[in-house]
Amino acid sequence: MSNLIKFFVCLLLVYSCSTKKEETVDLEHSNVELEMVADLTSPPFVPKPTAKRKAKKLIVDMEIVEKEMELADGVNYVFWTFGGTVPGSFIRAKVGDEIMFTLKNHPDNKLPHNIDLHAVNGPGGGAESSFVAPGYEKSFSFKTLNPGLFVYHCATAPVGMHIANGMYGLILVEPEEGLPPVDKEYYIMQGDFYTKGKTGDRGLQPFDMEKAMAEQADYVVFNGHTGSMVGKNAITAKAGETVRLYVGNGGPNLVSSFHVIGEIFDRVHVEGGDLINENVQTTLIPAGGAAIVEFKVNVPGSYVLLDHSVFRAFNKGALAQLQVSGDENLKVFSGELREGIYQPEGGTIQELPSNNEVITPPTAVDLEDQLAYGKQIYMATCFACHQSEGQGIENVFPPLAAADYLNADVDRSIKIVLQGLQGEITVNGSTYNNVMPSQRLSDEEIANVLTYIYHSWDNSKARVTPEMVAKVRAGE
């Protein structure tokens, strides 16, 4: 009898152990609450999708760091950051998560800070619970109740100044079932910056409160720098892939008209919420707002991402690149097929009515004349691309100031003005690949404008004459 009892006891123990083992294996798919440390990523990257995991207790540790970084080429700025980057680290959660948030203010910082997460249902979005002095940390928790893409930012007074110095980022709260899978995901956030110096003034630039209150931004940039996602830093995809962009606007002042040149957004989560808009060319993103945009890239090439308030893009920095590799798809896009002569008047070019006066450019009698006339031509013809001080537009149009490519060969410069230029060139160590059309200028005008350029902005002071232009025009 005792042997029979021992047998049943052993059987019960075996059954109990096997049940516990089975429960352990199935915890991921059960309702048992698990704890996990959030994977925080720096822009333009995002953490892995939450997929179909159950809601968890999500541990988020974020450090505030005040540090000097580059805002534009040769322009430095003291940024206030969440996680050491502008924008701050990307947080990926899902509906039902309990987030245990710890905010740490580095002891070397000068100021107290806090965080207001737009994904929080509670006073101040967490700001009142997270106000923290340098050398201290604060913790609070919240439940993610609503799916969407939400902005977070510092809300310490003066709030606008803290945001204008780079204190913003995004938190994604996925629905319970997760988001549909795509091939590539990226994190982009626009911000406007206000400096004591003018746009392009080099050196360390302090924040300018007067410009900020007047909403006169010197820089409008993606991910904290005019070159954050261009050239070697461009985001990438392959032809045929679907790209999802998590796009935020930290502001503090300006609305973003987000657009990708050469693409149409298949789906847009309007303002980061549940409303889906389809086949969209440009989507508005308010300051303190966000949007999720998705599109399939069908053909290879370089696609420009920009704020379609275009002076911000080409003059203040709100411009990025998506480089797409892969095979051509001529059924979708052929590229250039032919080039021909356009004669709107027909085979015989007609003349506009006139009073028979022949308008000729003034003839320069000395260098002083050349510089004065050349400046007039430059401001009318060259200014838009190469800018008032010859600085060009970073990663788009090359500089003329102290330009090694320009100073190396005067005849080549004349030829470019006469015939235009297309393709890749290297200027002062940076690569540019754009198109300059030929200019319909006389020999006198070309000589004057090039002489003005060569005598400006630390160039070689070469003097170009109409005779030199005529020889290049004749192919000599």
Do 454 and 319 fall within a single domain? no
pLDDT at 125: 97
Do 389 and 313 fall within a single domain? no
Residue 332 lies in a domain: no
User: What would the pLDDT profile of 46-62 be if each residue is shown by its tens digit?
Assistant: 999 998 899 999 999 99
Residue 453 lies in a domain: yes
Closest of 421, 418, 419 to residue 405, by C-alpha: 421
User: What would the pLDDT profile of 70-108 be if each residue is shown by its tens digit?
Assistant: 999 889 999 999 999 999 999 999 999 999 999 999 999
pLDDT band at 360 (very low <50, low <70, confident <90, very high): low
pLDDT at 155: 98
Do 306 and 376 fall within a single domain? no
Angle at which helices 466-473 and 410-419 pack, to 10 degrees?
A: 60
Is 386 annotated as contributing to ligand binding? no
pLDDT at 9: 41
Q: What are the Cα distances from residue 344, in Å, to 138, 337, 338, 440?
A: 71, 21, 18, 17
Do 407 and 267 fall within a single domain? no
pLDDT at 457: 93
pLDDT at 13: 40
Do 321 and 177 fall within a single domain? yes
Q: What are the Cα distances from residue 473, in Å, to 159, 414, 441, 464, 468?
A: 60, 9, 12, 14, 9
Contacts with 448 (C-beta within 8 Å, 6 or more apart), sequence order = 361, 364, 369, 370, 371, 373, 374, 377
Please report, for the domain that includes residue 249, its CATH number: 2.60.40.420
Do 108 and 257 fall within a single domain? yes
User: What would the pLDDT profile of 228-285 be if each residue is shown by its tens digit?
Assistant: 998 889 999 999 999 999 999 999 999 999 999 999 999 999 999 999 999 999 999 9
Residue 162 lies in a domain: yes
**Bridge-based pairing state of the strands 57-72 and 75-82:** antiparallel
Q: What are the Cα distances from residue 213, in Å, to 158, 160, 272, 289, 318?
A: 12, 9, 27, 20, 20
Domain span holding position 466: 367-473
Is 153 annotated as contributing to ligand binding? yes
Q: In the listed set 303, 325, 347, which residue is the last one of a domain according to the structure?
A: 325
Residue 87 lies in a domain: yes
3-state secondary structure 92-107: EEECCCEEEEEEEECC
User: What would the pLDDT profile of 183-225 be if each residue is shown by its tens digit?
Assistant: 999 999 999 999 999 998 889 999 999 999 999 999 999 999 9
Average pLDDT, rounded, for the chain: 88
Is 10 annotated as contributing to ligand binding? no
At residue 246, the 3 state secondary structure works out as: strand
Closest of 261, 260, 186, 190 to residue 225, by C-alpha: 190
Do 389 and 316 fall within a single domain? no
| Alpha helices, DSSP H, located in 257-325 | 310-316
pLDDT at 373: 87
- Looking at per-residue pLDDT, the higher value among 385 and 38 belongs to 38
* pTM recorded for the entire structure: 0.73
**Total domain count, the chain:** 2
Is 225 annotated as contributing to ligand binding? no
Do 180 and 70 fall within a single domain? yes
Q: What is the mean predicted confidence (pLDDT) over 434-449?
A: 86
Residue 345 lies in a domain: no
Do 132 and 277 fall within a single domain? yes
Q: In the listed set 298, 325, 352, which residue is the last one of a domain according to the structure?
A: 325
Residue 17 lies in a domain: no
pLDDT at 342: 59
User: What would the pLDDT profile of 130-147 be if each residue is shown by its tens digit?
Assistant: 999 999 999 999 999 999
pLDDT at 344: 64
- Looking at per-residue pLDDT, the higher value among 384 and 418 belongs to 418
Contacts with 25 (C-beta within 8 Å, 6 or more apart), sequence order = none
- Distance (Å, rounded) from C-alpha 146 to C-alpha 259? 27
Residue 226 lies in a domain: yes
With a cut of 60, say whether residue 383 has pLDDT above it.
yes
Please report, for the domain that includes residue 382, its CATH number: 1.10.760.10
Do 399 and 301 fall within a single domain? no
- Distance (Å, rounded) from C-alpha 164 to C-alpha 251? 7
Do 461 and 381 fall within a single domain? yes
pLDDT band at 5 (very low <50, low <70, confident <90, very high): very low
Q: In the listed set 325, 351, 385, which residue is the last one of a domain according to the structure?
A: 325
Is 259 annotated as contributing to ligand binding? no
Do 310 and 391 fall within a single domain? no
At residue 464, the 3 state secondary structure works out as: coil
Residue 147 lies in a domain: yes
